[in-house]
Structure 1
Amino acid sequence: MTMLRLDDLRQHSDILRLRNGKALAVRFVEPGDAEALQAYFRSLTTRSRYNRFLGAISELPKNLLAHFTHAGEDDRFSVIATMTIDGFETIVGEARYAYDGDRFEFGLSVDDRWQGQGIGQVLLGNLQCRAAAFGARRMFGDTLRSNAAMIGLARKSGFAFAHNPDDWKLVRFEKQIEIARQEIPCASWRLAATQIALQPAV
């Protein structure tokens, strides 16, 4: 089992800008985020949770929550998108991804109260940067055919669509990654994070 050290988690954060100029921070999830992350998922509407997990759940089961909060475990990573609201760091979106060879698989969600602000588009752009930094040649995700918001976001971001090979209720969106690592402004810490994840946890 491998995971990122907490100091490295805090160091490797991205500060992005929404179209309204507000700052959006994207960082790895820490074990100490478990309660806040669970509260985030509970606050999503039933439809949003169903779309995110492709089934009906009211909260993350304990074992899945543990996986979400340990970066690098089983070569999977979770990030949260946060904004400072009334002086507090508030989770407004999240994503989980895995890198396997030249493939980068991901899923994401945005708080229903903050949808329409461009958070999904900025978060997806950040994931594309992560995919390129890992050296992936293709990134993809699966969603329900009824999830118009995710399909619209993927289409706007240049993804192509195909049938999911395992489930007719799902649609797969995928995109080729053509940018070279050295041309990615945000690549340096992601490559460092890959090396950190290979080190034993302390």
Structure 2
Amino acid sequence: MIDAASYTRRDTLRDGTSVEIRALHPEDEVEMLAALGQTSAQSRRRRFFVPKQHFSDRERDFFMQIDFEHHVALVACVDDAGIVGGGRYIVAEPGRAEMAFMVIDAWQGRGIGGLLLRHLIALARDARLGELTAEVLPENAAMLRLFDRFGFVRAKGWDPDAIHLELKLT
């Protein structure tokens, strides 16, 4: 079994840029907040479904204190830019987890979301999860295309303002 808490892999973006996909660590908090500061209001709304300006202490704790069993979080790091994106899944019920991603604006469209998604799917399969889900705003065409490329299908969801996607892993 893969140790998600110490997960680290080198990968290459479409343009040849080397990127490290690794587990999020508590000491990454300052850099993660800085990365969030490099995202537009539109990107934050697409991720959080509200125009998020800042995070409470409780929210920061939730995002940074990862158990790597029920909550798995990875970051994408580029040598000269630091953390440029992150993704996670959170087990919502036994065998099923919800995914979410964010890539800073300057790095969007370069393949980081796809790398994070591929690595998270591998970790979810290794953890023997049966299904991954995601909620995506209808306007977020790039994310919808990404999930479609990885085999996610539309299904009935709980949020009427979002598109619910599912990927069966078994």
- Normalised TM-score (structure 1): 0.76
Q: What is the root-mean-square deviation in Å for CA atoms of aligned residues?
A: 2.0
Gaps of 5+ in 1: 179-202
- Normalised TM-score (structure 2): 0.89
How many Å separate the matches in 1 of 2:88 and 2:169? Answer: 18
Percent identical residues: 26
SS of the counterpart of 1:132? helix
Does the CA contact (< 8 Å) of 2:103 and 2:112 recur in 1?
yes
Q: Which residue of 1 aligns with 2:166?
A: 174
Larger Rg: 1
Match of 1:95 among 87, 90, 95: 87
Does the CA contact (< 8 Å) of 1:29 and 1:70 recur in 2?
no
Match of 1:109 among 91, 102, 105: 102
Does the CA contact (< 8 Å) of 1:141 and 1:174 recur in 2?
yes
SS of the counterpart of 1:43? coil
Q: Which residue of 1 aligns with 2:149?
A: 156
**CA deviation profile, 1:69-108 (whole Å, cap 9, x unmatched):** 11218822322111101xxx61111112123421121100
- With CA pairs under 8 Å and 6+ residues apart, which has the higher RCO, 1 or 2? 1
Q: How many residues align?
A: 167
SS of the counterpart of 2:164? strand
- Show the 5 A alignment for 1:20-169: 20-72=15-67, 75-85=70-80, 90-99=82-91, 100-164=93-157, 166-169=158-161
How many Å separate the matches in 2 of 1:65 and 1:27? Answer: 19
Gaps of 5+ in 2: none
Does the CA contact (< 8 Å) of 1:29 and 1:68 recur in 2?
no
